[in-house]
Structure formats: structure tokens, C-alpha cells
Amino acid sequence: MKFNDVTRGSGLEEHGITNANLIFWTPPTAVLYEQIIKRGEGLVSHLGAIAVKTGHYTGRAANEKFIVDEPASHDNIAWGKVNKPFAPARFDALYNRMLAYMHGKDLFVQDCFAGADCEHRLAIRVITEKAWHSLFARNMFVRATPQELETMRPQFTVINMPNFHAIPTVDGTNSETFIIVNFARKLIIIGGTGYAGENKKSIFTILNYLLPIEKKILSMHCSANVGLKGDTAIFFGLSGTGKTTLSADPNRSLIGDDEHGWDDKGVFNFEGGCYAKIIRLSKEAEPEIYETTRRFGTILENVAIDTHSRRIDLDDDSFTENTRASYPLTHIPNIVLSGTAGHPSNIIMLTCDAYGVLPPIARLSKEQAMYHFLSGYTAKVAGTEAGVKEPSATFSTCFGGPFMPLDPAVYGELLREKIVQHNVSCWLVNTGWSGGPYGVGSRIKIDYSRALVNAALDGTLVSGSYEKDPFFGLDIPTACAGVPAEVLNPRNTWADKAHYDETAGRLVALFRENFEKYKASVPKEVAEVL
């Protein structure tokens, strides 16, 4: 099939799709814009970005994700609450119903790659019924050249039909929505949700399975950038911790904002774009990301738009707090075009501590780094979910639990080995609260977080003095240019020191309780960090 062909019902027979109407095959951005407008899927904003709504789901449907339990992958999967099994026969039946649904439909196909490193990249095909989902895939994955498109064969395929719904009593799903990964058939099927993030996170799940097993490559839910001296840094963190914000630094080149691999040469991006959370995005605090919201090719998910003036309001959360912008990396001015860089000099582990007891930065030993990597801590704040009345601790294995199909120890041991081998400096950075918990204290200023991260990356903090935190055993720097000294030790920022001690003790207990499940599979010195 030639580049940008629009064909009638042919070319997808290998997937069982034999009677589609029109097939738009890897169409460019301009063609997809035309189709989005023609089909009423979105509106062009006044400066050229396309605004869309995802419908009922404005975030991932975590409870609706399954992995087909088949012999080849059964023994490798860490089955449980996250990696829920799905019977092969039920998958086949559901897929057959999905094929029937596609009869006579217009389909959009993007053939692209996951992985910037040509040695390790995965050829993927994304088949959708929505033109804007096809644009999302075009933004988020690595684009193939016209020459590569002539001969490439997909190694994994995603078929996403948001308007097709499962029947739970028939299909064995939890609801009408489903995201099902089938390693044996090299196929992912998605239905009942318009949230485009399911496309990228499904492929991330695939890479998190294949790369550690087949190539001993550490797959990571992290952003990454590189300095003028070639010093690479990676930033682990869950949504809302500052992973995208802190890695988009005008003085450093961005490798990628969300997913990377670490092989024997260094770090490489899995993606060709960024998927930034943009609620209340500030031009002053995040100028590079802000500018992407005004660019042709950017998708604005669930962002409020005036239908007359076509101006967007980034402060409006009436649709969701999880407003997003999907844009190609080339929308950012200072990027690493190859998507690859050398071994990291520094690892930053980000948390948004709503309890307000973790320091804004702390130096980690290698054992502490593995402990906090496996813990993957952040906190929800009151008001973000029904029933949350006070800060709520969240632990997500390897800062990406929902996307990690293997035993967490596999990822943890790979990280520990690489930290030791390359003598990497590790840091824990809290972008959350200071002076008290959420509702009492205040969010740590982004300027302070940037100053602390910069001091860690340029080596200033390495040669400074430290004091020991008595609760978490962390090394806290006593000084950093641009940050008031009293901010560095969180206990000093609390008016009620006894309340700080009580709150810190409670969070330590939550860490210990969560880590019980890892103790048997990690070295003793890691198990005894707390």
C-alpha cells in the first residue's frame, strides 16, 4: 500500500478486516485535519490547534484493561489486580464481533514505530474509526519515512473502535469498555472509550514486556533530557508530579517526556511526541509547552473552547482536570532529534507529597533509589476524587504500575544494575506541599523545584553539605542557591512540629506496609531502607 493512499476496502485482510469502506492509509496531518472537521470530531482553535472531546472517559479506564492468558506469556506475567487475565476464546469471540462492527466503516491506519533506536524499535499499526485518534498516533509515535512505509510490516497492531461496546455478560468484561492485550496474536483491541491515551499506554505495556525479557533493556515511565556537556538526566514520576514540566528546560535538550528505554548504549525515547497535562498551564512558568497549544498539529483534549471566537481557556476544568495536549516533539524548540542520548548521569524521582513531609530534594543511596523506584509514591489530594477528604498515598510500582506486566523485581534489578554500572547520582524531588499538608501548607514553588533540580544536575549539590532526615533516612542538602534554607528541611516549615512528626511517622508506616510485597525479591539492604 503506497504512502497516503485512500483505498476502498483492501489491505487489512491480515487482520481479518475484509469489508471496510474507505481506508485512509497513514494520511498526513493536513488530511486528518480535513477529515476531523468534515466528520464533526473537533474544532480548529484560533491559532490552529485542534480541540476535541473524549466523551465519558477523560482518563484511562484502568479497571477495564486485561491481558489474554495464553501459554507463551503466562509464566512471565505478574497476574493480579493490575494485570487481569482474559480467556483466549473470549478474546476471539469479542474480536469477531468487533470485525463485524467494522463492516462498511471508514477506517484510518497509521503505520509507525515505537522506539527511536532503530536497533530496538517496534513496527506498529494503529487502526481507528476516528480521524483525530489517527492524528494522535501520528503525533505520539515515531513516523516512518515514505520508503520505510513501502516495506514495513507491523509487529503489533492496535485496533481502537470507541463506538463499539462490549456486552459484559457475553464478553466477560467488567463493563462496555475494554482494553485487551494479546501477546500471542500481537494484537491490542480497544472499545468503549474515546480517551486517546489508551493507544499509547497499550503500546507502552507491550514494550515493558518485550524489552526486559528479550533484550535486557530497562523500560521506564520517565522523561529525559540532556545538557550541553552531554550529561543525560531521567525523571521518573506519576501524572501531576512535574515530569513533563521539569524536563522541558530551555537550557537542556529534551529527549522525550514520558517513555524511554535504557540499553547498553544509553537512553532512547519510545515516542515521537508529547502528551502533556495542561490544566492551568502558564506561559510564564512553562513557555515551551504553552506555545505548543497554539500550533497546527496539536490536539487539545477536553480543553474548553469558545465556539464563536475559537479561543481556548486553559484554566477551565469544566470537562476534566486531566486536560491534555498531544503534539509532535518537533513543536518543542530544543529537542534531541535522534531521540537518543548516552547513559544518565542523574536520576530524578519525582513525587507530589500532599502530606507535606518529604523534602523538596534529597540525595538517595543506590539502595534507597531501588526502594523508591519500586514504591513509586505520590499522593492524591482532597477534592480530586469522590470520598477523598484528606491526602491519600498512592504507590505505583516503578512509577508506572498499570503498564508493567512483569514482576516488579525485574525492572528494579535492571535499574539497580545500571545505577551501579554507570555510577549514577540519584535524587528524590518533592514537588508537592510544604509548611503543612494539603489544605494547610502551600505547593512548593516551581522556581524552587527548578533551582534544586538544576543544582543536582550541574553537580552543585553533590559537593554541598547534608543533614540526615530522621524519619526516611534521607540526605537533605543544607543550602541551594535560589531556595530559602528553611524550605530545604520540611520540618522547619511546619508551625506545629509535633504534628509534622506524627504525619511523617504515618507516611513511613504506609511506605513499609506497601513494600512488604517486594521484600522477598530484593536484596536485604534494599528491604531494610525504611
Is the pLDDT at 386 greater than 50? The verdict is no
Mean pLDDT of 113-134: 97
Alpha carbons 44 and 135: distance in angstroms, whole number: 14
Rounded average pLDDT over 451-472:
94
Report the candidate in 36, 13, 33, 9 with the shortest Cα–Cα distance to residue 23.
9
Closest to 224 (Cα-Cα) out of 270, 191, 257, 261? 257
Least confident of 204-208, 298-302, 458-462: 458-462
Q: Are strands 156-161 and 187-191 parallel, antiparallel or unpaired?
A: parallel
Among 343, 341, 345, 344, which Cα is nearest to 459's?
345
Angle at CA of residue 443, ends 358 and 435, nearest 5°: 60
Q: What is the pLDDT of residues 431-448, one digit of tens each?
A: 999 999 999 999 999 999
% pLDDT > 70, the chain: 96
Sign of CA dihedral 410, 124, 184, 170: positive
Where would I find the H helices in 423-518? 446-457, 485-488, 497-515
**Please, are residues 488 and 358 in contact by the beta-carbon 8 Å criterion?**
no
**Grid cell at residue 13:** 485482510
Nine-digit cell string for 26: 497513514
Q: In this structure, what C-alpha cell is assigned to residue 28?
A: 498526513
Reply yes or no on whether the pLDDT at 383 is more than 80.
no
SS3 sequence of 383-425: CCCCCCCCCEEEECHHHCHHHCCCCHHHHHHHHHHHHHHHCCE
Q: At what angle do helices 29-38 and 131-140 cross, to 10 degrees?
A: 150
CA-based nearest residue to 137, from 203, 89, 205, 231: 203
Evaluate if residue 245 carries a pLDDT over 90.
Answer: no
- Summarised one tens digit per residue, pLDDT across range 69-120 is 999 999 999 999 999 999 999 999 999 999 999 999 999 999 999 999 999 9
Residues known to be catalytic = 60, 201, 221, 239, 243-244, 258, 324
**pLDDT, tens digit (0-9, with 9 covering 90-100), for 477-495:** 999 999 999 999 999 999 9
- Average pLDDT (306-333) is 95
In angstroms and rounded to an integer, the radius of gyration of the C-alpha atoms of the chain is: 23
The whole-number pLDDT of residue 8 equals 59
What is this structure's pTM? 0.93
Which residues contact residue 80 at a Cβ distance below 8 angstroms, ignoring those fewer than 6 apart? none
Q: Residue 1: is its pLDDT beyond 50?
A: no
Q: Does 149 have pLDDT greater than 60?
A: yes
pLDDT of residue 2: 46
Q: What would the mean pLDDT of 16-32 be, rounded to a whole number? A: 94
Q: Determine the 3-state secondary structure of 515 from DSSP.
A: helix
Three-state SS string over 144-166 comes to CCHHHHHHCCCCEEEEEECCCCC
pLDDT of residue 10: 61
Residue 190 contacts residue 198 (beta carbons within 8 Å): yes
What pLDDT score does 398 carry? 96
The mean pLDDT of 246-255, rounded to a whole number, is: 92
Would the pLDDT of 131 be above 50?
Answer: yes
**Burial of residue 282, with CB atoms counted within 10 A of its CB: 0-12 exposed, 13-18 middle, 19 or more buried:** middle
Q: What single-letter DSSP state applies at residue 13? A: G
In whole angstroms, what is the distance from residue 148 CA to residue 3 CA?
A: 10
Considering the chain, what is the average pLDDT of its residues?
94
Nearest Cα neighbor of 419 from 360, 368, 377 is 368
How do 340-341 and 324-328 pair as beta strands?
unpaired
pLDDT the model gives residue 225: 97
Q: pLDDT (tens digit, 9 = 90+) per residue, 168-200?
A: 999 999 999 999 999 999 999 999 999 999 999
Q: Dihedral of the CA atoms 354, 425, 423, 418 (nearest 10)?
A: 30
Q: Which three cell numbers stand for residue 480?
A: 541551594
Q: Scanning the structure block, which residue is given the C-alpha cell 540526615?
A: 468
Q: In terms of Cα–Cα distance, which of 130, 107, 121, 191 is closest to 156?
A: 121
